[in-house]
Amino acid sequence: MRKVLYIKANIKPEGISRTFQVSDYFIEEYKKQHPEDEVIVLDLYQENIDFLRPADLEAMGQVNDETKKDTTILKYAYQFAEADKYVFAAPMWNLGFPAILKAYIDYITITGITFHYTAEGPKGLLQNKKAVHIVARGGEYGNAPYEMGDRYLKTILNFLGVDNIQTIAIENLDIVGADVAAKVNEGKEKAGLVVKEF
């Protein structure tokens, strides 16, 4: 049995979020193909993920204390490390992604849990894992140099040791005259293809 962590980072509700329309479809297809796997849904807004405070930085240094494993900060890093696959559902906001996802990344990027330092420098501890980023964008940003969200997510996951990462992008959703429903359906078709290898 594999553990899949479905990380949702959009304040828009179900049915309204175009990102979630595609990511929820992806998850449902995944469940059909892998009924034995466990899918853990982590809605970052429901979790009330916050920015790091001084006390949080202190807690990050206590990874060797088993009694601290379930503290607010460390529990997310351990949960992330224990998962086998990751599905990030995060739209493009202001050339990046919602700030709450960056706050979550700060929670999970912890020395001794998801990466460590060696004589050669930092090394990711999350080997042989897969990730997919599902993202809705208002325009055409896939190859734009100022697209920061997907590039950052891939960079930080690589840093943590995850090197099998795919992106399902639904683009041009806010262009005047766009057939949004058709574009969302195209996103679902892409998701249906990616999920077969995920």
Angle (deg, nearest 10), helices 180-195 and 18-33: 30
CA distance 80 to 86: 8
Alpha carbon 166 to chain centroid, angstroms: 11
Choice between 142 and 163, residue whose per-residue pLDDT is larger: 163
CA distance 113 to 108: 8
pLDDT at 14: 78
pLDDT at 68: 67
Angle (deg, nearest 10), helices 72-82 and 99-108: 80
Q: How far is CA 156 from each of CA 51, 87, 88, 115, 140, rounded to the nearest angstrom? A: 18, 15, 13, 11, 23
Residue 13 gets which letter from DSSP? P
What CATH number should be reported for the domain holding residue 57?
3.40.50.360
pLDDT in tens, 154-192: 999 999 999 999 999 999 888 898 898 999 999 999 999
Rounded to 5 degrees, what angle do the CA atoms 17, 19, 24 make? Answer: 95
In this structure, what token pair is assigned to residue 89?
């559902």
pLDDT of 13 higher than 90:
no
Count: domains in the chain? 1
Name residues whose C-beta falls within 8 Å of residue 67's C-beta, 6 or more positions apart in sequence: none
Per-residue pLDDT, averaged over 127-144, amounts to: 92
Determine the length of the chain: 198
Per-residue pLDDT, averaged over 129-133, amounts to: 98
Q: Can you tell me which residue has the tokens 């001084």? A: 54
Q: Is residue 88 packed enough to be buried (19+ CB in 10 Å), middle (13-18) or exposed (0-12)?
A: buried
Choice between 74 and 4, residue whose per-residue pLDDT is larger: 4
Expressed as residue numbers, the domain containing 180 is 3-195
pLDDT in tens, 38-93: 999 999 999 989 998 888 888 787 777 666 677 778 999 999 999 999 999 999 99
Among candidates 134, 130, 143, which has minimal Cα distance to 190?
Answer: 134
Q: Are 85 and 198 in contact (CB under 8 A)?
A: yes
Q: What is the pTM of this model?
A: 0.94
Rounded to 5 degrees, what angle do the CA atoms 47, 49, 55 make? Answer: 125
pLDDT in tens, 95-116: 999 999 999 999 999 999 999 9
